[in-house]
Amino acid sequence: APEPAAGSPGSDGNPPTGTDGGSRSMTGERSITVDEPTGGLTAGLDPVVQRTDGTWIAWGDGDADFDVTDDRNCVAVPPDQEAYTLHRLELSDEAVDCYYYGFSNRVLWPLCHGFPDLIEHRSNDFEWYRTVNEQFAEAVADHATADSVIWIQDYHLALAPRMIRQSIPSGATVAHFWHIPWPTPGTFRHCPVGGQILEGLLGNDIVGFHVGRYADRFLECVDRFLPDATVNRARRTIRYDGRTIRVVATPMGVDAESYDRDARSTDPGRLSALFEEYGIPRETTLGLGLDRLDYSKGIPERLAALERFFERNPGWRGEFTFLQKATPSRTEIETYQQYGELVRSEVERINRRFGTGGWRPIVYTEDVLPRADICALYRRADVMVVSPLVDGMNLVAQEYVAASVDGNGALLLSDRTGAHERLGSHALTIDPTDSDGFAAQLGYAVSMSPYERRRRMNTLRQRVFDGDLESWMATQFDWIRRVHDGSDSEDTN
């Protein structure tokens, strides 16, 4: 089995300070507090790393209640079982600002999501990005042996693989999973340090993406911008620096069984209380949106489609309520602040236009809810709307399906998400920017026959359960094992 795992905080874009709502605390002997995060990836990785007896390297901003037990900032997790070692990198405020809110989220995030106009170049951001990547590489070198497997997560660590490669014993395997899209070469050109990013990533033995499209674009970018690399697009391999790098597409799933289980144990009293708190009529047909407040998620476009829907279907006024749960994210960045303001003001405007007496067509909240509440809402929602302008995968769509235990939910899914590749043919596909078509699909969803709902949902559930988080992990580790054992070599040379 692969040994140490290493990685960044995860995919939800939030630092691993463990302060998300709905967390559970365990207190060990040395007053160590471990908050279980609500995000899918971190929660999914934790049991895997527990089984490997490895080391998890993650950064924190120094605010978390973290009691280090040795001079390398290492602590055993869980405190009472010591299943793995958590090596924590403490970052200063300036480092967090430049590395995380700077180059990671002002350059790489908009670049990879195809929003080059939103890229902000600030002096020092890239230097800090490099410095933090170096810190990660040094921490890995502290733990790695010739037999190690190093598994790196996401776009915050693009330079680290090459640095790691230079500082660890040969024989160790380095794999990376990139949780967000990879851009076209035309967009990638907007990154002034693109060559360094690609060289950094080619320090890996394996680079993983959610879908084949991103893997192919990555190969195209390497082909176009790194003249020393030899790309084999058919085999998805790259020869560089005397090594072969394998590029793979392994779509990430969710822990479907646990969403199914939590949805089945919904407390009806709690659901009524939530409806009351948010002013949602008890018997309403319910639409649901659940996203980080991020410009990639297409929330204003969704609101425009809802406006069109209520315009065209006056009979649904008072009968259909849309709950938009938006979690504030990266609020240090002005683009995100402006986006939040736009979303809030559009909700108010639409509610003023169509609201009557006690009924609001759009109920909007920025509350972070415990997972039990999320599962209860998923189960209750008649229509789930997932309409990003671009999204690497999108776990929410899959969680909704897993939690639709009564089989009668309808999923509207943007064709610009990774999830659409797996679920698209049985969800109701939308182009998020086409308000008319989007509103028409919404109209279709709310009026869909129970038979069609069940038929579609049965197939969706099959796909989500077949391609769940565990199967994603297994596929990842299968690739890693093949490369690590050398059994992949005849394919790649």
251 binds ligand GDG (CB under 6 A): no
Cα end-to-end distance, the chain, whole Å:
25
Residue 313 Cβ vs ligand GDG, minimum distance, rounded to whole Å: 28
At residue 399, what are phi and psi to the nearest 5 degrees? -65, -40
d(CA 389, CA 281): 30
Pairwise CA distance, residues 413 & 427, whole Å: 6
CB of 196 to ligand GDG, least distance (A): 23
Identity of the residue, 271 or 448, whose beta carbon is nearer to ligand GDG in the bound complex = 271
Which position among 292, 317, 344, 481 is part of the footprint of ligand GDG (CB under 6 A)? Answer: 292
Residue 392 found at the interface with ligand GDG (CB under 6 A): yes
DSSP string, 281-321: -TT-EEEEEEEES-GGG-HHHHHHHHHHHHHH-GGGTTTEE
Restricting to residues 312-331, name those near ligand GDG by CB under 6 A. Answer: 327
Tokens describing residue 258: 């646990």
Residues that contact ligand GDG, how many (by CB under 6 A) = 27
CB of 118 to ligand GDG, least distance (A): 15
Distance CA 124, CA 433 (A): 36
| DSSP sequence for 140-158 | HHHH--TT-EEEEESGGGS
The closest residue (CB) to ligand GDG is 11
Tell me which of 77, 215, 252, 480 binds ligand GDG, using CB under 6 A: 252
302 scored as a contact of ligand GDG (CB under 6 A): no
Nearer to ligand GDG, 161 or 298 (CB): 298
Q: Between residues 4 and 44, which has the closer beta carbon with respect to ligand GDG?
A: 44
Smallest gap, in angstroms, from Cβ of residue 295 to ligand GDG? 11
- Among residues 86, 305, 395, 427, the one that binds ligand GDG under rule CB under 6 A: 395
Strands 84-90 and 74-77: antiparallel
* 77-80 contact pairs (CB < 8 A, 24+): 77/34, 77/50, 78/26, 78/28, 78/34, 78/50, 79/26, 79/27, 79/28, 79/29, 79/30, 79/32, 79/34, 80/26, 80/28, 80/29
Does the protein bind ligand GDG through residue 394 (CB under 6 A)? yes
Residue closer to ligand GDG, measured from CB, 140 or 211: 211
Q: 18 with 64: CB under 8 angstroms? A: yes
Question: Residue 78, preceding bond cis, omega within 30 degrees?
Answer: yes
Q: Compute the C-alpha angle 78/79/82, nearest 5°.
A: 65
- Residue 299 CB, shortest distance to ligand GDG, in Å, is 13
The answer to whether 215 contacts ligand GDG (rule: CB under 6 A) is no
Nearer to ligand GDG, 3 or 294 (CB): 294
Q: How far is the CB of 117 from ligand GDG (least distance, A)?
A: 19
CA distance to 327, 347, 460, 493, per residue, from 381 (Å) = 18, 19, 16, 51
Q: How far is the CB of 418 from ligand GDG (least distance, A)?
A: 6
Residue selected from 393, 413, 423, 460 as contacting ligand GDG according to rule CB under 6 A = 393
**Residue 37 or 200 having the CB closest to ligand GDG:** 37
Q: Which two tokens stand for residue 251?
A: 């779509």
Contacts 24+ apart (CB under 8 A), 331-340: 332/97, 332/101, 333/101, 333/105, 333/106, 335/118, 335/120, 335/295, 336/293, 336/294, 336/295, 339/293, 339/294, 339/295, 339/299, 340/293
**Least distance to ligand GDG from the beta carbon of 177, Å?**
8
By beta-carbon proximity to ligand GDG, the closer residue of 135 and 394 is: 394
Among positions 74, 95, 158, 180, the unique one binding ligand GDG when judged by CB under 6 A: 180
Stretch that binds ligand GDG, among 72-80, 231-239, 307-315, 362-370 (CB under 6 A): 362-370
User: 229 or 386: whose CB is closer to ligand GDG?
Assistant: 386
Q: Shortest CA distance to 32 belongs to which of 71, 86, 89?
A: 86
What is residue 172's DSSP assignment?
Answer: B
Residue 38 interacts with ligand GDG (CB under 6 A): yes or no: yes
Binding to ligand GDG (CB under 6 A) within 364-383 occurs at 368-371, 374
Task: Return the sign of the alpha-carbon dihedral for residues 57, 135, 219, 237.
Answer: negative
* Interaction between residue 260 and ligand GDG (CB under 6 A): no
Report in angstroms how near the CB of residue 154 gets to ligand GDG at its nearest.
8
Region of 33-41, 72-80, 272-280, 312-320 interacting with ligand GDG (CB under 6 A) = 33-41
CB of 327 to ligand GDG, least distance (A): 4
Is residue 362 near ligand GDG by the rule CB under 6 A?
no
Asked if 78 interacts with ligand GDG (CB under 6 A), we say no
Q: Which of 9, 18, 40, 102 is the binder for ligand GDG (CB under 6 A)?
A: 40
Helix (H, G, I), strand (E, B) or coil at 446: helix
Quick one: 307 or 373, whose CB is closer to ligand GDG? 373
**Phi/psi at 364 (5° precision):** -120, 130
Nearest of 49, 154, 38 to residue 473 by alpha carbon: 49
Site for ligand GDG, rule CB under 6 A: 11-13, 21-22, 38-41, 179-180, 252, 290, 292, 327, 368-371, 374, 391-396, 399
